[in-house]
Chains A and B, each alone.
Chain A
Amino acid sequence: MSIFMQLIVSGISVGMIYGVIAFGYQLTFATSKTLNFGQGEALMIGALVGLTTINVLIGQSLGTFTAYFLMLPVVLAFGALQGTVVEWLGVRQAIKTKSEAGWIMATIALGIIFKNVAENVWGRDALKFPSPLPEASLSFWGIRIQPMEIAIVIGALGMMLAVEFFNRRTIQGKAVVATASDRDAAGLMGINTSRVITFSYALSSMTAAFAGVLVAPVTLTGATMGAVLGLKAFAVAIIGGLSSGLGVVVGGLILGITETMTGYYVSTGYKDVPGLVLLLLVLSLRPSGLFGKTTIKKV
């Protein structure tokens, strides 16, 4: 039983990371019906920039904990910049020409470029990321939890709540929501929708970069860390529904827990398989996702 609980607890922190990346997909899909196929690379490069920054700060004889918090704004700003570049180079033109293939291929291409640049700058080996919290596990009723795993859950939820709060309570956020519900109408009301879309990409990559530095202390950082995470988040976004904030959290938890279970009871080699199976199942049974709303076709 305690093994079972242990697997659930480990699954939760993994799942929250998937959830926060999938949340990034939702942000851009809402405003522009596009998403960044290089989201995993946004996470990776955010984590690597974070690694360099934190090492510089630690070199200034700051403590790891302080350094981690000072590093966060740098990473968030970098993420926002990276998202802007992706939108500018990969998405804007395709939205104009209404070409689905265009933005998919362009964001894939940018992802490939970012990964290749990261390989050349930071090398091909996985690097250790300094942990701001003690790495010794805490033990509750026989279940072992790393402090960083708790931080991941809190950080991920905090990030999503902050964005939701921004969207609901600020005038800029309302522009985002308006663009999401009807881009043409929002444009006619004087909202610069193309800027809103750029902004949503900045926000999306920012959450990805943040997810990167959240997960980095638990795993390792390196040029290849993003691809799999980005892919899992695809599964989560579809399982939960591309339009539901609650969906990504629940979808993330479902996938995270299923994976740790598969890893333990079947084989670690097959750990990544249930993602695709769940994805196909959800699409067959409920194509709009577990929490997604079915859209009404207009004729």
Chain B
Amino acid sequence: MRAFPYILGLIALAVCPFLVTSPYYLHLLVTIAIFSILTLGLDVVFGYTGEVSVGHASLLGIGAYTAGVLAFHFNLGFWAALPLAVIVTAFFGLLLALPALRVTGPYLAMVTLAFGTIVQILINEMVDLTNGPLGIKFSTPLFIDLRAYSDVIPLFDMSLKRMKELEYFYITGIALVLTIVIINRVLASHYGRAFEALRDSPIASDCMGVSVYKYKVIAFVLSAGLAGLAGALFAYSEQYIAPNNFSFELSVQFLLAVTMGGRKSRLGPMIGAVIIVFLPNLLADIALFRIAAAIIAGIAVVAGVAMFVRGHEQRHRALVPVALCVAFFVFSMMLQKITDYKLSIFGMMILFVVYFLPEGIVGFLRQLVAAALPNRARQVSARHEAQDDSKAWAAAPLAINTQKPLLTAQQIVMQFGGLKALDHVDLNVQQGTIHGLIGPNGSGKSTMMNVLTGIYVPTEGSIAFDGHALAGMKSPEIALCGVARTFQNVQLFGELTLLENVMVGLHHTYTSGFFGAALHTSTFTREEAEAHARAVSILHFVGLDDLAYEEARNLPYGKQRLLEIGRALALDPKLLLLDEPAAGLTAPDIADLVRIIRKIRDHGITVILIEHHMDVVMSICDQVTVFDFGQKIAEGRPADVQANERVIEAYLGGSAVPAH
């Protein structure tokens, strides 16, 4: 059933060139397919990871010029150009992404914008290589001359030109279908989950061993590779390329295409590609443009009136867009020469989409469908999924070595400006224990946790954990050493399901790489199935398998905290850091939590627990360390710590000398 739209699409693709006989329109279709490859790739960066690239036209240009240089200087044709264009463009993508994605913020947009200008300059200047402003000519390849069989199959009786056009159409069609298949598979794999996770909560991704930086770079390089493929196809389809084919405006058009069509879908970027291919035609013919403006205004008025008739809650907010659509139609009627204002109209379209169609056409249609079918039955529970005990969570408890501590932090100093949040703190944690960290607010407990998980790099001091020196390591590396954590303010991947949240934690169990995911190798499918089964068993353990397919953001607060613990367990940690897991929980929830923490300890996982609920701390901790003003003021068994004068003083204030 799910394959139905794909089969329909394939049939449409196959019969298309026999319905469209005009070479002009066939060429437009080819261009749409090529731009679709690019916009689908752009969506991986723009839609999924949320980074903005304003340089995809230049990447298209690099792909095209790779094909051009190969043809011009080395006499290498189409089949050499395709793979090399992908490789060369992906390399340029890597070159941009490695520096630009080190920091969060609009840096990728700024760098790609600069890159776009430089590429145009370089193509113009490096005349020896690129033939400069004169451009490069191509001849469309003929793959197989099927006309030889025309006496057997009369369908093949056509001119050489038509034959070439037809074959090229099928070649780009196949490239597009392959692109869709690869993107679908990659996005459904652990790569896709990483892309979505890093956008929802970068910090939690890093602490689950999924490096935000690494996966953003991978997304951009994939996207660049597809742009390169599109570039080589574009060069042979246009039969002539020149530097100004790959302008800044085209890059912006690609962004418009993805936004307008709808991000995070396959259909959206393709609809967008159709729009930007027809846009120049639309903006060249004033009569056509006026008709289009009239249709848009008509739809807007009808939709607006419908909202008022139905008494929709947000009907007043719809007034502005409706008025703007009508004004746009009036503007189109007043316009004398459309070519002069082509770019202004283009700019207004972007503004309109950003304002009123942020989810794109596909997103808008999804909303309509969701409104029409509100109670669509959805699979939520995973309780029925068979429990195979061999794959159940942590079936084999860890061997406990009581000889030396699992974690030894020595003389940790964490300085922020003039403030010492941690002042020469030592911390030893024995394996197989629950170690409590308590202290008043602002005493340095969470800072300690951030230092241990690499979110902060300590100013001084060393941390030894299970044979690794953690100080100075980055969060993802520390996570992969076996340190998992939860967060004081819950950091879930809100748009992923519960199951997917846990599967992001299981990312480290995959050995298959990008190509494994794209080709669905047997290793990959086995790993995916295993990860799925383990995720279900972990959810079962924390009592959430009933809601496995629900989106995490829809969970009530208490369950969100349990899910965070489940996700952390997926990392197969030796040490689990829980930052105020009981905060905001009701009494029955707390009882559940205590039971779960005890079970985790029984599996041999060492737990560090920050908590303000003293009854919880005192009942389950084997050791307690007390912090105050960034210093360790007491350490020992719960009962001893409770009786300690300095602890009482820190909590109750004033002098704690008992009265006689």
* Chains A and B are bound partners: yes
Smallest beta-carbon distance A281→chain B, Å: 8
B416:A116 contact, CB within 8 angstroms: no
Residues of A contacting B: mostly: helix
Q: How far is the CA of A210 from the CA of B488 in the complex (A)?
A: 48
B354 at the interface (CB under 8 A from A): yes
A97-114 residues with Cβ-Cβ distance < 8 A to B are 97, 99-102, 104-106, 108-113
Stretch in contact with the other chain, from B92-100, B372-380, B536-544 = B92-100
Q: Mark A245-277, 1 if CB is under 8 A from B, else 0.
A: 000000000000000000000010110110110
A278-299 residues with Cβ-Cβ distance < 8 A to B are 279-281, 283-284, 287-288, 296-297, 299
Residues of A within 8 A of B (CB): 33-35, 37, 89-90, 93-94, 97, 99-102, 104-106, 108-113, 115-117, 119-120, 227-228, 231, 234-235, 237-238, 242, 267, 269-270, 272-273, 275-276, 279-281, 283-284, 287-288, 296-297, 299
Smallest beta-carbon distance A146→chain B, Å: 26
B122:A273 contact, CB within 8 angstroms: yes
Between A119, A120, A227, A299, the greatest number of chain B beta carbons within 10 A of the residue's beta carbon is seen for A299
State which of B54, B121, B358 has its C-beta within 8 Å of the C-beta of A269: B121
Smallest beta-carbon distance B57→chain A, Å: 13
Chain A: CB-nearest residue to B488: A299
B480 at the interface (CB under 8 A from A): no
State which of B118, B344, B358, B491 has its C-beta within 8 Å of the C-beta of A276: B118
A102:B98 contact, CB within 8 angstroms: no
State which of A105, A235, A270 has its C-beta within 8 Å of the C-beta of B114: A235
Between B109, B255, B456, B489, the greatest number of chain A beta carbons within 10 A of the residue's beta carbon is seen for B109
List residues of chain B with CB within 8 A of the CB of A93. 354-355
B342-364 residues with Cβ-Cβ distance < 8 A to A are 342-344, 346-348, 350-351, 353-355, 358
B103:A116 contact, CB within 8 angstroms: no
Residues of B contacting A: mostly: helix
Smallest beta-carbon distance A38→chain B, Å: 10
19 interchain pairs (CB within 8 A)? A97-B358, A99-B358, A100-B50, A100-B52, A101-B255, A105-B259, A108-B252, A108-B350, A111-B347, A112-B347, A113-B343, A116-B340, A227-B117, A238-B110, A270-B121, A272-B121, A279-B110, A288-B103, A299-B489
List residues of chain B with CB within 8 A of the CB of A299. 203, 446, 450, 455, 487-489, 491
Check A234/B110 contact, CB under 8 A, given A102-B358, A113-B347, A299-B489.
yes
List residues of chain B with CB within 8 A of the CB of A235. 114
A280:B99 contact, CB within 8 angstroms: yes
List residues of chain B with CB within 8 A of the CB of A100. 50, 52, 106
B113 at the interface (CB under 8 A from A): yes
B341 at the interface (CB under 8 A from A): yes
B50:A267 contact, CB within 8 angstroms: no
Chain B: CB-nearest residue to A108: B252
B249:A112 contact, CB within 8 angstroms: yes
B125 at the interface (CB under 8 A from A): yes
Q: How far is the CA of A109 from the CA of B346 in the complex (A)?
A: 8
Q: Mark B550-561, 1 if CB is under 8 A from A, else 0.
A: 000000000000
B310-360 residues with Cβ-Cβ distance < 8 A to A are 340-344, 346-348, 350-351, 353-355, 358
Q: How far is the CA of A235 from the CA of B198 in the complex (A)?
A: 27
Q: How far is the CA of A296 from the CA of B415 in the complex (A)?
A: 11
B240 at the interface (CB under 8 A from A): no
Interface residues on B, range: 35 or more
List residues of chain B with CB within 8 A of the CB of A104. 52, 54, 106, 109
B118:A106 contact, CB within 8 angstroms: no
Chain B: CB-nearest residue to A110: B347
Q: Mark B10-48, 1 if CB is under 8 A from A, else 0.
A: 000000000000000000000000000000000000100
Smallest beta-carbon distance B199→chain A, Å: 10
Check A231/B111 contact, CB under 8 A, given A90-B351, A109-B351.
no
List residues of chain B with CB within 8 A of the CB of A111. 347
Between A106, A110, A276, A287, the greatest number of chain B beta carbons within 10 A of the residue's beta carbon is seen for A276
A109:B347 contact, CB within 8 angstroms: yes
State which of B110, B117, B354 has its C-beta within 8 Å of the C-beta of A102: B354
> 10 closest pairs, A vs B, by CB?
A283-B99, A109-B350, A113-B347, A116-B343, A112-B347, A109-B347, A269-B125, A284-B99, A287-B103, A116-B344
B106:A35 contact, CB within 8 angstroms: yes
Q: How far is the CA of A233 from the CA of B291 in the complex (A)?
A: 42
B72 at the interface (CB under 8 A from A): no
Q: How far is the CA of A104 from the CA of B110 in the complex (A)?
A: 10
State which of A33, A227, A276, A287 has its C-beta within 8 Å of the C-beta of B115: A276
List residues of chain B with CB within 8 A of the CB of A283. 99-100, 102-103, 107, 111
List residues of chain B with CB within 8 A of the CB of A287. 99, 102-103
Q: How far is the CA of A237 from the CA of B103 in the complex (A)?
A: 14
List residues of chain A with CB within 8 A of the CB of B122. 273
B348:A109 contact, CB within 8 angstroms: yes
Q: How far is the CA of A80 from the CA of B487 in the complex (A)?
A: 44
List residues of chain B with CB within 8 A of the CB of A35. 106
A112:B358 contact, CB within 8 angstroms: no
State which of B50, B98, B111, B354 has its C-beta within 8 Å of the C-beta of A94: B354
B114:A234 contact, CB within 8 angstroms: yes
State which of B50, B95, B256, B340 has its C-beta within 8 Å of the C-beta of A120: B340
B347:A234 contact, CB within 8 angstroms: no
B105 at the interface (CB under 8 A from A): yes
List residues of chain B with CB within 8 A of the CB of A120. 340-341
Smallest beta-carbon distance A298→chain B, Å: 9
Q: Mark B100-138, 1 if CB is under 8 A from A, else 0.
A: 101101110111011101100110110000000000000
B176-212 residues with Cβ-Cβ distance < 8 A to A are 203
List residues of chain A with CB within 8 A of the CB of B46. 101
State which of B114, B487, B491 has its C-beta within 8 Å of the C-beta of A275: B114
Chain B: CB-nearest residue to A273: B118
Smallest beta-carbon distance B509→chain A, Å: 26
List residues of chain A with CB within 8 A of the CB of B54. 37, 104, 108
List residues of chain A with CB within 8 A of the CB of B342. 116
Q: How far is the CA of A85 from the CA of B98 in the complex (A)?
A: 35
Smallest beta-carbon distance A220→chain B, Å: 19
Please give 15 more A-B residue pairs, beta carbons under 8 A apart, in addition to A105-B252, A288-B103.
A37-B113, A100-B50, A109-B350, A109-B354, A116-B344, A228-B117, A234-B114, A238-B110, A273-B121, A276-B117, A280-B96, A283-B102, A287-B102, A299-B203, A299-B450
State which of A33, A89, A276, A284 has its C-beta within 8 Å of the C-beta of B105: A33
B354:A105 contact, CB within 8 angstroms: yes
Smallest beta-carbon distance B428→chain A, Å: 24
B455:A297 contact, CB within 8 angstroms: yes
A89:B100 contact, CB within 8 angstroms: no
Smallest beta-carbon distance B94→chain A, Å: 12
Q: How far is the CA of A100 from the CA of B105 in the complex (A)?
A: 8
Between B96, B122, B354, the greatest number of chain A beta carbons within 10 A of the residue's beta carbon is seen for B354
List residues of chain B with CB within 8 A of the CB of A113. 343-344, 347-348
Chain B: CB-nearest residue to A234: B110
Q: How far is the CA of A262 from the CA of B125 in the complex (A)?
A: 14
State which of B103, B105, B259, B344 has its C-beta within 8 Å of the C-beta of A117: B344
Smallest beta-carbon distance B237→chain A, Å: 27
Check A101/B340 contact, CB under 8 A, given A109-B351, A299-B203.
no
Smallest beta-carbon distance B283→chain A, Å: 12
Smallest beta-carbon distance B201→chain A, Å: 10
List residues of chain B with CB within 8 A of the CB of A269. 121, 124-125
Smallest beta-carbon distance A164→chain B, Å: 22
Chain A: CB-nearest residue to B416: A296
A116:B256 contact, CB within 8 angstroms: no
Check A272/B255 contact, CB under 8 A, given A94-B354, A105-B354, A299-B446.
no
Q: Mark B446-459, 1 if CB is under 8 A from A, else 0.
A: 10001000011000
Q: How far is the CA of A297 from the CA of B207 in the complex (A)?
A: 14
Smallest beta-carbon distance A255→chain B, Å: 11
Q: How far is the CA of A105 from the CA of B95 in the complex (A)?
A: 24
List residues of chain B with CB within 8 A of the CB of A115. 343
Chain A: CB-nearest residue to B263: A101
List residues of chain B with CB within 8 A of the CB of A231. 113-114, 117
